Structure 1
C-alpha cells in the first residue's frame, strides 16, 4: 500500500512539474515574442539531451530494473533522440514548433480523458468535470493543429495561450484526482474495519 502511494505521489509531482513548465514557458514566450525560434529549438534540443541522460543514469543508479512499470530508460533514450533531431533539423523543428506544442497538449488531453474514466470507475460523482476539462483541451489543441489563423504570429500566440491553459487544467485535475483517491481509500479502509469485527464474531460463534 505504501509503495502504491509513493508511486501515485511521484506521478502527481511529475505532472505538476510538467504543468508548471507549460505555464512558465507559455508566459515567457508570450512576453518575449522576439525570441528566435531556431535558437529556442536548439536550446530545447540541448535540454532534452540533458534530461534524457539524467533519466538513463537514474534508471541504473536507482536500480529501476528491479521494479516493473518504470520507463526511465525508454523515456531517457527518447529524449536524447528527440534532442539530437532538434539540433540536426533545427529549421524543420522551428517551422513545426506550434504543431509540436499542440500535439503535447493533445497528449495531455487524452491522459485527462483516461483520468475521467478512472474517476467514473471509482464512482466519483463529479467525474464529468475532468471529462469537460479533457474535452476543452482537445478542442483547443485541434484548433491549433487546424491552423485557422491568418498569420504565423497569431498562430504562435494562440498556441502559447493554449499551453498555459493546459498547464492550469492539468494542475486542477491532479488536485481533483488526489482528493478523489484519498476519499476512495478512506472509504475502503472504513469498509474493511467494519467487515473485520463482524467476520471475527462470526468465526468465534462457531
Structure 2
C-alpha cells in the first residue's frame, strides 16, 4: 500500500469515527460526556497506581521510577477529582472537540489549496466545506450557547458534518489526484 492509499484510508476511517462520535453526542450528550469523564478518571487512577507500584518495585538508586511515587499520587488525585467533578470535565470536552473540528477544517483548507494548485474543478467546494468547519469549530470553542447540552448537541452536529465532509473531500481529492497523475 503506497503512502497515498494509507493517507486516504486514514482519512476515511477518521471521517467514519467523527460521524459515529457526532451521532452519539447528538443523541446522548449527557451520558456520553459523563462516560468520557469516568473513563478518563479510571485511566488516571490505574496509571497512578501503576506508577506507585513501579516506584516500590525498584531499588531507590536504580533511577527507574525515580519520580513514580509523586507522579502516581498526582495521577490518582487528578483521577479522583475528575470522578467526583465530572461536570468540570464535561464543560471542557466541547472545547477539545471544537479544536478537533478546527483541525479538520484546516486540513480541508490545505486540500482545497492542493486542488486549486492542480487546477481541479470544484476545488471551491472543498474550500467552502473547510470554511464551514472552521466556523463551526470557532463557534464551539467560544461557546455562545447558554447550556452545555445544547452546545454538546451542536458539537455532535459539527462532528457529524466534519466526518461526512472529510469522507467526501478525501474521495474527491483522491479521484482528482488520480486524474491529475493520469493527465501528466
TM-score after normalising by structure 2: 0.71
Instruction: For 2:174 and 2:32, locate their aligned partners in 1 and report how far apart those are by CA, in whole Å.
Output: 39
Name the CA shift for 1:42/1:15 in 2 (closer, same or farther; >3 Å).
farther
Give a deviation string over 1:115-169, Cα, whole Å, max 9, x none.
1111111111321111111001111111111211121111111111111011011
Name the CA shift for 1:46/1:128 in 2 (closer, same or farther; >3 Å).
farther
Match of 1:152 in 2: 148
Give a deviation string over 1:25-63, Cα, whole Å, max 9, x none.
11122222341624313436889xxxxxxxxxxxxxxxx
Instruction: For 2:41 and 2:99, locate their aligned partners in 1 and report how far apart those are by CA, in whole Å.
Output: 17
Checking the alignment, whether the CA contact within 8 Å between 2:24 and 2:32 is kept in structure 1 is no
TM-score after normalising by structure 1: 0.64
Unaligned runs of 5+ residues in structure 1 are: 48-83, 189-206
Instruction: For 2:124 and 2:173, locate their aligned partners in 1 and report how far apart those are by CA, in whole Å.
Output: 12
Q: How does 1:6-25 map to 2 (within 5 A)?
A: 6-25=2-21
Q: What is the CA RMSD across the aligned residues, in angstroms?
A: 2.4
Instruction: For 1:12 and 1:105, locate their aligned partners in 2 and report how far apart those are by CA, in whole Å.
Output: 18
Aligned residues: 147
Name the CA shift for 1:36/1:118 in 2 (closer, same or farther; >3 Å).
closer
Instruction: For 2:172 and 2:137, locate their aligned partners in 1 and report how far apart those are by CA, in whole Å.
Output: 22
Shift >2 Å, 4+ stretches:
29-34, 36-39, 41-47, 87-95
Match of 1:202 in 2: none
Q: Verify: 1:29 aligned to 2:30, yes or no.
A: no
Checking the alignment, whether the CA contact within 8 Å between 2:109 and 2:126 is kept in structure 1 is yes
